[in-house]
Amino acid sequence: MTDPFTYRGGALHAEDVPVADIVAAVGTPVWIYSAGAIAGEYRTYRAALAAALPGCEIGICFAMKANASLAVLGLLGRLGAGADVVSGGELAIALAAGMPPERVVFSGVAKTAAEIDAALEAGIHQFNVESEPELEAIAARATALGRRARVALRVNPDVDAHTHAKIATGRKQDKFGIDIARAPAVWRRAVALGGVEPVGLAVHIGSMLTDVAPYRAAFVALAELVRALRAEGHSVGRLDLGGGLAIAYRGEAPPAVADYAAVVAETAGDLGCALLFEPGRRLVGNAGLLATRIVYVKDGTDGPIVIVDAGMNELLRPALYDAWHEVLPLREPAAATPRLPSDVVGPVCESADTFMRGRPLPPLAPADVIAFASAGAYGAVMSSTYNGRPLAPEVLVAGARFAVVRPRQTIEDLVARERVPDWLADAAGQETG
């Protein structure tokens, strides 16, 4: 679908629901996702791959580190997606959302014995192995449990994705993957080990890629490795090509999925491998908003300082990545409304809790509600309870309906998680008694 967040009659809508209605029912801050936008992006992604790679077995495993909402995962699972997980917790969430284990891929650099056991017992599709010690650990746990683990070696092709340094994963100095020059030796070790079955290769070079050239370089290197392994007599039947396609936050021109699919076809389409893809941000990023209410507006030296009730504990990306999010007032400003250079900040006791500085915005007043756009990825999933702030609720919209899919956490919930040891309570009682 087109942009799910539009003004109608001057009021911001999420699909067919006025955002003001959601705010009135649920309060602020609140995350709002569009089911139609997520489904539309998934179908576009899958159709482009199917068109470019006719006859190829294609799997799409949503990178749930971008958004771990059970409702979002359930929606994608019903559309045919699987999940790319990076922890035992994500594995449990994916299974709870109804993702079939045979459509789950386990990535991540620090898989523990307990996490490996859980994945083996669930019967996941494959482990993406990130290091030689991890390969040995998976083999040992599989042998101990009488299982055989399907593994794909995640290789590091030393390709610079030309993205933000904190989300680049395919350079030689990055922590992810096995040096591609070591991959043949590691594959041979996997063949010799009991408990594991090497079935393929994986690569992921980063997130927010706005150019397909780095993909081409990585996939060419991967294809050369496939041919080299086959020349040694090994069977390489799967390729996991990762994800990372950008979305538009601030006028970027992300590659069309069709252009990306054409690169896949050009570089890996003739290998006869089943292909896996791990989109995350691309499917959900522009399908989400974070609505927040203005608490105070104070005069700053260079313009208004707008203080809102959402903080960096809700939306960390601006503090972590200097990320840009468009601001959408719930009431559409007239075209002639003057814009003032404004800072928008949150309530957290950190100077980093600043969403933007000097942004030209229409005049804003206490009690007004604004929304940060393009907040469906790496938003709620990265939130915390820092400063004793309960987690904000999540809402899913579908047409004219909406539902709270994660209720607002309460302060009582926060306190209930804590425990005071008996010896400390006793000591306090003696001291005050």
pLDDT digits (tens, 9 = 90+) for 209-223: 999 999 999 999 999
- Has residue 109 been placed in a domain? yes
Q: pLDDT band for 172, please (50, 70, 90 cuts).
A: low
Give the confidence band of 101 by pLDDT, cuts at 50, 70, 90. very high
Mean pLDDT for the chain overall = 94
264 and 341 belong to one structural domain: no
Tell me, yes or no, whether 89 lies in a domain. Answer: yes
At residue 70, the pLDDT reads 98
Q: Identify whether residues 196 and 69 lie together within a single domain.
A: yes
Query: Residue 221 has what pLDDT?
Result: 94
* Closest C-alpha to 289, from 18, 62, 9, 74: 18
**Residue among 244, 237, 170, 168 at smallest CA distance from 208:** 244
List the single range of 202-206, 237-241, 303-307, 429-433 with lowest mean pLDDT: 429-433
Q: Return the CATH number at 370.
A: 2.40.37.10
Are residues 325 and 376 both part of a single domain?
Answer: yes
Q: Tokens for 423?
A: 């010896």
> HSE (CB half, 13 Å, CA atoms) of 249?
19
d(CA 217, CA 372): 35
pLDDT of residue 59: 98
Domain boundary among 247, 266, 283: 283
Place of tokens 């299974």: 95
Strand segments, DSSP code E, in 215-319 are 238-240, 274-277, 288-299, 304-308
Model confidence at 166, pLDDT cuts 50, 70, 90, reads very low
Q: How far is CA 259 from each of CA 45, 55, 63, 215, 256, rounded to the nearest angstrom?
A: 11, 19, 21, 11, 5
Give, as one character, the DSSP assignment of residue 36. Answer: H
Percent of the chain with pLDDT over 70: 94
Tokens representing 183?
Answer: 């991959």
State the pLDDT confidence band at 173, using cuts at 50, 70 and 90: low
Q: Is there a contact between 364 and 345 (Cβ–Cβ < 8 Å)?
A: no
Based on the domain organization, do 322 and 240 belong to the same domain?
no
Residues 15, 119: one domain?
no
pLDDT, position 177: 87
Per-residue model confidence (pLDDT) at position 140: 98
Each residue's pLDDT tens digit, 122-140: 999 999 999 999 999 999 9
pLDDT band at 170 (very low <50, low <70, confident <90, very high): very low
Joined together, the tokens standing for residue 61 give 């495993």
Burial of residue 152 (CB within 10 Å: 0-12, 13-18, 19+) is: buried
Instruction: Please indicate, yes or no, whether residues 301 and 234 belong to a single structural domain of this protein.
Output: no
pLDDT > 60? residue 78: yes
User: Is residue 103 in a domain?
Assistant: yes
Residue with tokens 């469906």: 376
Same domain, 174 and 320: no
Mean of pLDDT values over 66-75: 98
Domain boundary among 257, 283, 309: 283
User: E strands along 145-195, which residues?
Assistant: 149-156, 178-179
pLDDT attached to residue 429:
56
Question: What CATH number does residue 88 fall under?
Answer: 3.20.20.10
Which of the four pLDDT bands, split at 50, 70 and 90, describes residue 160? low
Q: Is residue 203 part of a domain?
A: yes
Q: Is 59 within a domain?
A: yes
Q: Is 422 among the domain residues?
A: no
pTM for this one? 0.94
Q: What is the DSSP letter of 122?
A: H
Question: How does pLDDT run across 279-312, given as a tens digit for each residue?
Answer: 999 999 999 999 999 999 999 888 999 999 999 9
127 shares its domain with 263: yes
Confidence of residue 428 (pLDDT cuts 50, 70, 90): low
Beta carbons of 239 and 290 less than 8 angstroms apart: no
User: Can you give the residue range of the structural domain that contains 221?
Assistant: 35-283
Q: How far apart are CA 408 and CA 392, in angstroms?
A: 5
Q: How is 321-369 classified by DSSP, letter by letter?
A: H-----EEESBPPPTT---EEEEEE-SSSSTT-EEEEEEEE----TT-E
Can you tell me the mean pLDDT for 243-247?
94
- Give 353-381 pLDDT, tens digit per residue: 999 999 999 999 999 999 999 999 999 99
Q: Kindly state whether residues 93 and 215 are assigned to the same domain.
A: yes
248-257 CB contacts, 8 Å cutoff, 24+ apart: 248/286, 248/374, 249/323, 249/324, 249/325, 249/326, 249/374, 250/324, 250/326, 252/210, 253/210, 254/210, 254/282, 255/209, 255/210, 255/211, 255/212, 256/48, 257/44, 257/45, 257/48, 257/49, 257/282
- Using one digit for the tens of pLDDT, what is the confidence trace for 248-269? 999 888 999 999 999 999 999 9
Query: Mean pLDDT, to the nearest integer, of 162-182?
Result: 64
**Domain end marker among 283, 313, 338:** 283
Number of domains forming the structure of the chain: 2
- Any catalytic annotation for residue 273? no
Instruction: Please give the torsion angle defined by the CA atoms of residues 320, 322, 324 and 327, in that order, rounded to the nearest 10 degrees.
Output: 80
Q: Are residues 74 and 200 in the same domain?
A: yes
Average pLDDT over residues 35-45: 98
Supply the pLDDT for residue 426. Answer: 72
Residue 337, in any domain of the structure: yes
Considering the candidates 56, 61, 273, 349, report the single residue annotated as catalytic.
349
Pair 120, 64 in one domain:
yes
106 located within any domain: yes
Above 80 in pLDDT, residue 171? no
Tokens at residue 90, please? 């994500």
Q: Do both 105 and 230 map to the same domain? A: yes
